[in-house]
Amino acid sequence: MSTRTTLITGIGSLVTNDLGHGTGPLGLLADAAVVVDGDTVAWVGPAAQAPAADERFDAGGRALLPGFVDSHAHLVFAGDRTAEFNARMSGQSYSAGGIRTTVAATRAASDAELDANVAGFVREALRQGTTTIECKSGYGLTVEDEARALRIAAKHTPETTYLGAHIVAPEYAEDPAGYVDLVTGEMLDACAPHARWVDVFCEKGAFDGDQARAVLAAGIERGLTPRVHANQLTYGPGVQLAVELGAASADHCTHLTDEDVAALAGSATVATLLPGAEFSTCAEYPSGRRLLDAGAVVALSTDCNPGSSFTSSMAFCIAVAVREMGMTPDEAVWSATAGGAHALRRSDVGSVAVGSRADLLLLDAPSHVHLAYRPGVPLTAAVWRAGVREV
Ligand SMILES: [Zn+2]
């Protein structure tokens, strides 16, 4: 039995991210149409050649893109850090320690409260065109609270990441080695069934290279694939470790040596840049240009979290990447869609190609360039996720 089909026609500019189609790295097609069959893209091509379908949607000459793939977010938390942000904007510098505030509030929250918070953020992101979002634990830091965070996250996305090694739990402040034992032992046992990925904050004030290696190796042993918070606040071993262990992604990549850049360029590890963090902490941005020129695959993501980057807007990240990180609008849009899909090792999202999941973002604009050209302007006209019109 066939499903219902929808013809989206009158697309002024279609970003396919499919080199078999259109022009440039975005596979741009003008005057295009897309046929959605159930949850899948069934046809892509010139509007004039589009086949008939059960239903018809006229895009009115506007731009259609793959839904954004946000491959780095921390959404399972409770509490409010407005005051901390306010203080920081008055001149104090960010340190990893602020996470403890959120840990206390998250532990005190009910399951229902955390679940509602995640649902709210996923919906908020969807309204802005994000149809795939990754979600980390990391604000529980006990066996029970980390497993709970991942159980709740898994109700909202298949892209769940075990981040017991976000910071050393306050109870282990005098015994970080004991905490690493917990993270690689009992906590991992409780979390692995609910997680696809394992992550570690490899940073001064969090976990050093040896500790990070132990955390990632234990996760790999349990069938999780690594991704790493690497080289955000300082130079360090995170990127090299990510590449060495075959991580899907090294995230932040703000402080990179030439050797780090070369390692990323020569590997399948994606460099995921999170400009919301630098924006919100008044820090130096990573260089997208340097990584792209070296041949690395670059993703853009929000790092949505209450401490250092409380935005769910991929459009905002695109605008900052273009303004501050040397990326062209085409590169930034690719990184926010196909780049995120690479970072999550997903071939079914991040492109508009026959067989891909029907995750589509229609802009109230004639071109994807408007995402950078019109910063802060809500440009979402419609969003389909798995073929379902959500916005
Ligand atoms: Zn993060």
CA contacts within 13 A on the Cβ side of 290: 19
pTM for the full predicted model:
0.97
Tell how far the Cα of 198 is from the centroid of ligand 1, in angstroms.
12
pLDDT digits over 212-267, tens only?
Answer: 999 999 999 999 999 999 999 999 999 999 999 999 999 999 999 999 999 999 99
Ligand 1 mean position, distance from CA 335 (Å): 17
> Which residues 6+ apart lie within 8 Å of 158 measured at CB?
196
Cα torsion angle, 381, 386, 388, 391, sign: negative
304 CA → ligand 1 middle, Å: 7
List the beta bridge partners of residue 6.
36, 55
Distance of CA 175 to the CA centre of its chain: 32
Helices (H), the chain: 82-88, 99-108, 111-127, 143-154, 176-184, 186-191, 209-221, 238-244, 258-265, 275-281, 288-294, 314-324, 329-334, 340-343, 370-373
CA 311–ligand 1 middle distance (angstroms): 12
Span from the CA of 239 to the centroid of ligand 1 (angstroms): 14
Task: Report the chain's terminal Cα–Cα distance, integer Å.
Answer: 28
- Indicate if the alpha-carbon torsion angle 315, 316, 321, 324 is positive or negative: positive
How far, in Å, from the CA of 74 to the mean position of ligand 1?
Answer: 6
Tell me, in angstroms, the distance from the centre of ligand 1 to residue 359's CA: 24
* Number of other residues whose CB lies within 10 A of the CB of residue 135: 26
All residue ranges of the chain with pLDDT < 50 are 1, 96
How many angstroms separate the alpha carbon of residue 301 from the centre of ligand 1? 10
Residue 148 C-alpha to ligand 1 middle, in angstroms?
19
Give the Å distance between the CA of 72 and the centre of ligand 1: 6
Give dist(CA 233, CA 250) in Å, integer: 14
pLDDT of amino acid 2: 63
Give the max Cα distance, the chain.
69
Q: How far is the CA of 101 from the centre of ligand 1 (A)?
A: 16
| Distance in angstroms (rounded) separating the CA atoms of residues 151 and 115 | 10
Query: Do 127 and 120 meet the contact criterion of CB atoms below 8 Å apart?
Result: no
CB 59 within 8 A of CB 384: no
Place of tokens 């709970």: 148
Q: How far is the CA of 19 from the centre of ligand 1 (A)?
A: 31
Contact 236, 202 (CB under 8 A): yes
Euclidean distance between CA atoms 339 and 59, whole angstroms: 25
pLDDT of residue 1: 47
What are the structure tokens assigned to 230, written together?
């690497």
pLDDT digits (tens, 9 = 90+) for 49-90: 999 999 999 999 999 999 999 999 999 999 999 988 888 888
Ligand 1 centre from 303 Cα, in Å?
A: 5
Q: Three-state SS string across 303-335, please?
A: CEECCCECCCCHHHHHHHHHHHCCCCHHHHHHH
Q: Within the chain, how many helices (H) and strands (E) appear?
A: 15, 17
